[in-house]
Chains A and B, each alone.
Chain A
Amino acid sequence: MSLDKDTVARIARLARLKVADEELAPLAGELSGIFAWIEQLNEVDTKNVEPLSSVSDVTLPMRADKVTDGGIAAKVLANAPGGAVYIDPADKNAGGFFTVPKVME
C-alpha cells in the first residue's frame, strides 16, 4: 500500500489538519512505510472471526437515564480560547456561549 501526496492532502483535509505543501511528500513516504509494515496482517485468515467489541467479560452496568449535573456553565466556559459570552454576566452559571468566527454572512 503506497500513499501519494494527493491522498495525504485529502486525509489532512478530512482531519482538519493544515499540512504545508513541502511536508506532503515526506509524509507520504513515512505513511507508506508504516502501511507497508501493516500489510503483514493480510497473512492472517480472519474469515468467520468476530471483531473484538470489548476486552472485558465483565457485564457493565447501565445507569439510570437522568440528568446528574448541570448549572456549571461558568466552569464549562472557563477555558474558552475565544472568550465566552454570558447570558447574564451577573450569574455566569445561567448559561452562555463560546465564540467562533462568523459562520454565515
Chain B
Amino acid sequence: MAALTDLTIAQLTAALAKKEASAVEVADAHLRKLDEHRALNAFITETPDKAREMAKASDARRAQGQAGLLDGVPLAIKDLFCTEGVQTTAASRILEGFVPPYESTVTANLWKAGAVMVGKTNLDEFAMGSSNMTSHFGGVENPWKRKGDNRKLVPGGSSGGSAAAVAAYMVPGSTGTDTGGSIRQPASFCGIVGLKPTYGRCSRWGVVAFASSLDQPGPLARTVEDSALLLQGMAGHDPKDSTSAPLPVPDFAAAARNADIKGLRIGIPKEYRVDGTSPEIVALWSQGMEMLKAAGAVPVEISLPHTKYALPAYYIVAPAECSSNLARYDGVRFGLRVPGKDLIEMYQNTRGAGFGKEVRRRILIGTYVLSAGYYDAYYKKAQQIRSLIARDFKEAFEKCDVLLTPTAPTSAFAAGEKMDDPVTMYLNDMFTIPASMAGLPGISVPAGLDKDGLPLGLQIIGRAFDEETMLRAAAALEQAAAFNLRPAGY
C-alpha cells in the first residue's frame, strides 16, 4: 500500500474500512508531515493531542460498526471556524488567545461524520486577502516553486494555509471559506481542488464573519470526489443560520463519481477574455473546453455583460459588510483590549492596535460608503449592479448547464509581488467574484502547469443548488486533464 499520507480521502476511508490501517496510525502519519513541513507556516495552531484522541474514538466507533462518512479522516480547519476549547484567531491580533466556548456548525457536522482535526490553518487576516500575506501570524509558503527559482511563492488566499497543507500532503482535505474567491484561488495556486458551494448550502454559524451576504464555507482536497465527500459532511440546513437553505443534502460523492457529460452544455462567457490574463491561462481555458468537448459536452458561447463591474461592486459590498461585522471587536467581551483614558479611547486603541493594514483599509472603505449621504451612491448602487450580475447568470443558464472559466488571471506569485497597490491585488479575484456576487457554486480543478512549472486551475460554475451537475463536469475535466503532479520535495 502507498504511504498513508499519499491516499485520497476516498482511499483512506476504504483502507480504514478494510482495517488496513487504524485511525490512530493515519493521524500519526499526518502529524509527522505537520512536523516535517512546519516551515511552510500553514498552521496557526496544531492540535496533535486532540487528533490522537479523536482518532482513538474513531477506531472505537469502527470496532462497533458505527463508522461515519469521514470516520478517521484527518482534516485541517481554517482558523476562521470556531472550535470549542481550541484557540480561534481569524489570523488577527485582535483575536489572539480567543478560545471559543462553542463549535461552528460545519466543524460539528464534520466531527459527527467522524473526521479528525489535526490543527487550525493560517489565512489572510479575517479572510481579507488573496495572498495569505495579511496574516498576523506571518505568510504561508506555497509548496510549489518556479522551475530554477528558489523564491518563496504565496499559496493564494485567503484560505492559504488550508490549500498549502493539502498540497504538501500534510492532510488529505481541509475546510476553507470563500467570500470572493478565497477557496478557489488558493486551490488554483496550489494545484488542488477547491469548492465554493452555493450560498446557503453550508451553515455560517460559528464562522468568524467577514461579509455575511457572500461568505460561504467549503472544502479543499486533492480530488473532485474528495471535495464532494467533504461537502457532504459539511452541508445541511442549520436553524442557527437564518440564511441556511432548508434543503436535503444530495449524494455529492455519487455525482462526482459520474463523469458522464454527454450533451452537457458548457457556457464560455466571452467577457472573461480580458486583458491582463496570462496567455497560458487563455490557452489552458481553450484546452479545457476541447477536453470537455471530447468527453461529449457541447460548448456554447454566452455573454455576462456586467462581468467587469463585479469586482468594483464587490469592493463596496464586502467592505461595507465587513465594517459592520467587525464593529463587534471592541475590547469588551472577547479578544484584545488596549486601555485608554475613557471607553471611546479604549475602543480606538484596541481596534487601532488589533487590526492589520488591509483590515483597517476595508473597515474605512466600508464606514465611508455606509456613512450619511453616501449610502445611495455606493452601497445601493453596488447592490443594484449585483442584481444585474445575478440576472446575467440566470439568462446564461437558460442556454447552458455549467460555465467554464479560468480560476485566476495568473499562477502563484512571489511574496512581496503585487503588494504596492491594493487594486492590483484585488484583481486576482476577477474570475471568482462574479459567481460570489450571485451566490453561485464554483469549483477550481487543477488543469495544467505554466511555463514556470506552476499549477493552473480552471473554474466550473454551476446553477444555484446544483452542485451535482457542477461536480459531474469537474470530474470529467479532472479525468481529461489527468493532473497528477506534486510539488518537488512533498
A interface residues, Cβ below 8 angstroms from B: 3, 7-8, 11-12, 14-19, 27, 30-31, 33-35, 37-38, 40-44, 46, 49-58, 60-61, 63, 72, 75-76, 78-82, 98, 100-103
Contact = CB atoms under 8 A, between A and B. Distances in A.
B316 A38 contact: yes
A41 B382 contact: yes
B134 to A, nearest CB: 14
B130 to A, nearest CB: 15
Interface in B94-147: 98-99, 101-102
A46 B422 contact: no
Nearest to A18: B352
A49 B342 CA distance: 46
B384 interface: yes
Interface in B136-193: none
Nearest to B240: A68
A58 B200 contact: yes
Contacts of A42: 381
Contacts of A31: 361, 364-365, 368
B90 to A, nearest CB: 14
Interface string B427-443: 00000000001110000
B461 to A, nearest CB: 13
A76 B348 CA distance: 23
A7 B340 CA distance: 24
A33 B423 CA distance: 8
B335 interface: yes
Interface string B356-391: 000011011101100100000010111111111010
Contact of B381 (A30, A33, A46, A102): A46
A60 B422 contact: no
B98 to A, nearest CB: 6
Interface in B329-351: 330-337, 339-344, 346-349, 351
A103 B246 contact: no
B309 interface: yes
Interface string B233-257: 0000001001111110000000000
Contact of B337 (A33, A78, A82): A82
Counting chain B CB atoms within 10 Å of each CB, which of A44, A50, A52, A57 scores highest? A52
Nearest to B370: A14
A50 B386 CA distance: 10
A57 B101 CA distance: 34
Given A34-B365, A56-B439, A60-B245, 5 more contacts: A15-B363, A41-B385, A60-B243, A76-B101, A101-B343
Contact of A79 (B309, B334, B383, B423): B334
B243 A18 contact: no
Nearest to B378: A38
A99 B440 CA distance: 44
B313 interface: yes
Contacts of A56: 198-200, 243, 245, 439, 464
B335 A79 contact: yes
B397 interface: no
B309 A44 contact: yes
B364 A8 contact: yes
